Structure 1
């Protein structure tokens, strides 16, 4: 089996490779192609990835190329992990909204919209080129943020795509550690949109242990989620840590104004990782890779690719998938993040219990924003950008939306062809 990674020059790619090395018996990969326009990064990440596999005794061979068509031809699955504009664009996403008193973040708010505008056209172009050489049946596993919007764009364009995020698996691992249980013993009732989810039940041995979990470990959970423990106790759920941008917006903005942008931290980490990867004596995953972010993505990605390609029967995974009738208060073409059965035919959402208004209201609001964000990303236009910002629950004021739209376009002009006209 051939697996292609678009954006394979990322310093995070060795985490994925390490995950593949650990699943030798279940994921029959014999060729991994890393595709990236950055030759310098490929020349470092590629050989290090091969050393990881060799050290683990895995037979797969790693190839690198900047030619997308060459890299994708014959692939059973193609993973998308792109960052259009690199860490410099991310730094902009994390900083320009702060001048307006709005959260600076690369997947939500004005920064998240900026990333979507840069990313969606590039991803759609890549997907079309991949389909031209692989045919319509190759699976695209999308880890590119904002995952929900990008996955919806791929599905609307007719691609076989499933979106993947590491939030659910990270929470599962945290909970299993607190409970001293194996991860596979823990199932989460996880519902919402990408980066806007709530875990309403934690099922172990057929019983919901979430109330006791919050009672016994509320402080530790709240610290990890960066939310008040009183909120967890009142709601009786575990919100995604991305919900701190909604539930503690003003506090987060004050904090961001005094902290170093995450993009700068990651840039430093990447420089250090590339130095480590360049050392031919290093053949195991360095501890510094944990600072890069994306915990457990490799494990989730490998499991998902296995389910989509192995023919071994349905597996259950939390993925980003078309809503259909799963959440009846959303349009059928919305993309939601819920537990789903996954096999070679794709992902099908499992039934979801009624979602109460304290969660469904925000889900509906953000879904409306995502619809407008995708429209702006596909068709361009400054006013479409402003309309999406006006619809976002973290913005929602005309004067703010107007100012942020102008700033967003100015910051991203080099990545928005329509803005240069």
Structure 2
């Protein structure tokens, strides 16, 4: 089995490597290829990756290359984890929206749209090259904004499934609080990427007992503290929202916070400098503790589980993924990409039935879905007016004066990445 990671020079890759090594019985990789245009960085990450495999007794071969076509040729699965523009572009995404009093964030709002515009054309080019060299390969997209990028891939006819670590993070957290194994937790997880709610926490499977009321009653304070939302809000909702919902439910509070502290991009950039120095140490043969602060917890477990199921190597029968709606949420178009529990196998992901969604969540989901459709149109076709329409449609923006100003700021800060600008 050959698996390729595009964006393999990421400082986060050792987390993925550690998962591949630990879970080799679930996903028996014979060749792992790390592809990245940053050669020096790639060699540092690749060296540590080989040492991690050796320490854990994994017999698979790790190859590093800057040649995308060579890297994806003959691959059974290709994982996408790239960041167009790097942390410097992320820093911009997190700062210029604040000039209009809007949230600066890399996956939602104006910053999220900027990332989508930079990313979608690059991902589609990569996917076409995968299709030419390895037409049967599955593409697993972990590149943000996952919902928009996955929708672009699926609309172009690629074999693709989107992946996020929010659900597996909740699964692990809830299991600890309830004193059960993570495999005993099945989430009723519904919404869009980075816009989801846990409407049920079932024990033992999709039809199991719903432990969410017990979880909120006995551990509501801990859950609320993690989300940085009031306990009273969770009690009134009766569900657990993704922490990304804080950008909606406490927008002005978040903006005030962001204006008074360094950006997350600046924090991550400093962390990356430290990590790359560590990776260059030939005695290091395990992921360093600092990597846990980098983000993306449990991504490796989720990635292994998904790849194993898609490639017929095992894996869990039900997983939370990003895939086509196909009537699952009747208030959304069939080609919308939703994030829900799905049955995953060699033919792809089939969403499980979802109970009727409360209008409180359905309304916001429909609104953001409309924005994502306009965002994808802007990413595919370009043009100032399409960018403006997408920004005007986003519920975190909405006012025409903000949309006008943010359109100009977005284009000014991303001109080098926009072929049409």
- TM-score exceeds 0.5: yes
Partner of 1:188: 187
Two-structure CA RMSD over aligned residues (Å): 0.9
Partner of 1:310: 312
1:251 counterpart = 2:253: yes
Q: Is the 8 A contact 2:195 2:244 kept in 1?
A: yes
Q: Is the 8 A contact 1:120 1:378 kept in 2?
A: yes
Partner of 1:66: 66
Once residues 209 and 23 of structure 1 are traced to their aligned partners in structure 2, the CA distance between those partners, rounded to angstroms, is 29
- Secondary structure of the 1:418 match is coil
Give the alignment partner of residue 241 of structure 2, picking from 227, 239, 242. 239
- Secondary structure of the 1:8 match is coil
With the length of structure 1 as denominator, give the TM-score of the two structures. Answer: 0.98
Deviation, structure 1 residue 417: 1.1
Partner of 2:19: 19
Once residues 172 and 361 of structure 1 are traced to their aligned partners in structure 2, the CA distance between those partners, rounded to angstroms, is 26
**Residues 215-294 of structure 1 mapped to structure 2, 5 A cutoff:** 215-294=217-296
Q: Is the 8 A contact 1:311 1:343 kept in 2?
A: no
Once residues 353 and 389 of structure 1 are traced to their aligned partners in structure 2, the CA distance between those partners, rounded to angstroms, is 31
Partner of 1:175: 174
Q: Tell me which stretches of 4 or more aligned residues in structure 1 moved more than 2 Å.
A: 310-314
Deviation, structure 1 residue 177: 0.7
Larger mean CA deviation between 102-111 and 218-227 belongs to 218-227
Once residues 146 and 133 of structure 1 are traced to their aligned partners in structure 2, the CA distance between those partners, rounded to angstroms, is 26
Partner of 2:323: 321
Once residues 331 and 192 of structure 1 are traced to their aligned partners in structure 2, the CA distance between those partners, rounded to angstroms, is 13
**Residues 8-407 of structure 1 mapped to structure 2, 5 A cutoff:** 8-135=8-135, 137-205=136-204, 206-310=208-312, 312=314, 315-407=317-409
- Secondary structure of the 2:3 match is strand
Once residues 5 and 314 of structure 1 are traced to their aligned partners in structure 2, the CA distance between those partners, rounded to angstroms, is 22
Q: Is the 8 A contact 2:27 2:313 kept in 1?
A: no
Deviation, structure 1 residue 310: 2.3
Q: Is the 8 A contact 1:311 1:344 kept in 2?
A: no
Deviation by residue 1:325-363 (Cα, 9 ceiling, x = unmatched): 100000000000000000010000000000010000000
With the length of structure 2 as denominator, give the TM-score of the two structures. Answer: 0.98
Give the unaligned 5+ runs of structure 2: none
Give the unaligned 5+ runs of structure 1: none
Deviation, structure 1 residue 151: 0.1
Deviation, structure 1 residue 259: 1.0
- Secondary structure of the 1:417 match is coil
Q: Is the 8 A contact 1:93 1:105 kept in 2?
A: yes
